[in-house]
Chain A
Amino acid sequence: EAGVTQSPTHLIKPRGQQATLRCSPISGHTSVYWYQQALGLGLQFLLWYDEGEERNRGNFPPRFSGRQFPNYSSELNVNALELEDSALYLCASSSPGQVYEQYFGPGTRLTVT
C-alpha cells in the first residue's frame, strides 16, 4: 500500500512570491492535515481538510490556505512568502473516523530567498 506522497521534494521561491505544495493521501483516507516544521519551533498544526471541507486551522495568517479535491488530495498555498516561511511542510492523512491516527508523508522543504 502506497503511503502519503508529497510534491515537490524541495521548493525554492523568492520572498513575496507564492508557493504551492501538493499532497496525496493513503488510499481510502479522507482527511488530510498540514503541519509546519520550522527550525527551533517544532511541529505546528496548519490545516485540516476532511471530505473537501476545511475543518480547522492553526494559528497562521490567512496567506496560508489550501483546499482538498474530490479525490481527497490536497494542496497548500502560501502567498506573499516571507523568509520565516522557510520550513519543512508535512502532510498527513487519516482514515474515516480515525482523526487521531495520522500517517505522514516525506515532506516538502520550502526555502524562501
Chain B
Amino acid sequence: AQSVTQLGSHVSVSEGALVLLRCNYSSSVPPYLFWYVQYPNQGLQLLLKYTTGATLVKGINGFEAEFKKSETSFHLTKPSAHMSDAAEYFCAVSSYYNQGGKLIFGQGTELSVKP
C-alpha cells in the first residue's frame, strides 16, 4: 500500500525567501515520486519527478526535490520565491508496477507569497 502526507495545508513566505514544502510517503515497493502544481482554476502541471538514479531532482521554474529513503521524504524547495509561485502543490506517489493505474496524492499545500 502507498500513502502520502503533506505537512502544512498552507505555507506563506515572503518574496525572495526560501520555499520548503514537505512531503512524506509510505510505500511497500520502491516509490516513484512526483510534485505537481495547480494554479487557480487550472489542471495539474508536473513540476518534477523521481523514479530511479540521482536522488536530487531538478524541475521547472527553479524547483528541486530530494528523495531521502531513510526519512521517507521528498520535500520540495526553491531558493527564492516569486509572486508567480503562489499556487497549490501536490505530492504524489506511484511505483514502476502501478498495477492499479492511480497516483496517490497528498492533500495539497497552498503556497502564498507576500510582497
Contacts and interface: CB of A to CB of B under 8 A. Distances in A.
Contact of A42 (B36, B41, B108): B108
A58 B46 contact: no
B101 A99 contact: yes
Interface in B72-113: 90, 94-96, 98, 100-103, 105-108
B105 A55 contact: no
B44 A100 contact: no
Interface residues of A, number: 24
A45 B102 contact: yes
Interface residues of B, number: 24
A31 interface: yes
B43 A56 contact: no
Nearest to A49: B101
Of B44, B46, B102, B106, most A-chain CB atoms within 10 Å? B102
B47 to A, nearest CB: 12
B55 to A, nearest CB: 17
A56 B100 contact: yes
Contacts of A106: 42-43
B94 A100 contact: yes
Nearest to B100: A56
A104 B98 contact: no
Contact of B105 (A42, A100, A105): A42
A109 B41 contact: yes
B101 A48 contact: yes
Contact of A58 (B34, B102, B106): B102
Contacts of A102: 103
17 contacts: A4-B43, A6-B43, A42-B108, A43-B103, A48-B101, A56-B101, A56-B102, A90-B44, A99-B94, A100-B94, A100-B95, A101-B32, A101-B49, A102-B103, A104-B36, A104-B45, A105-B43
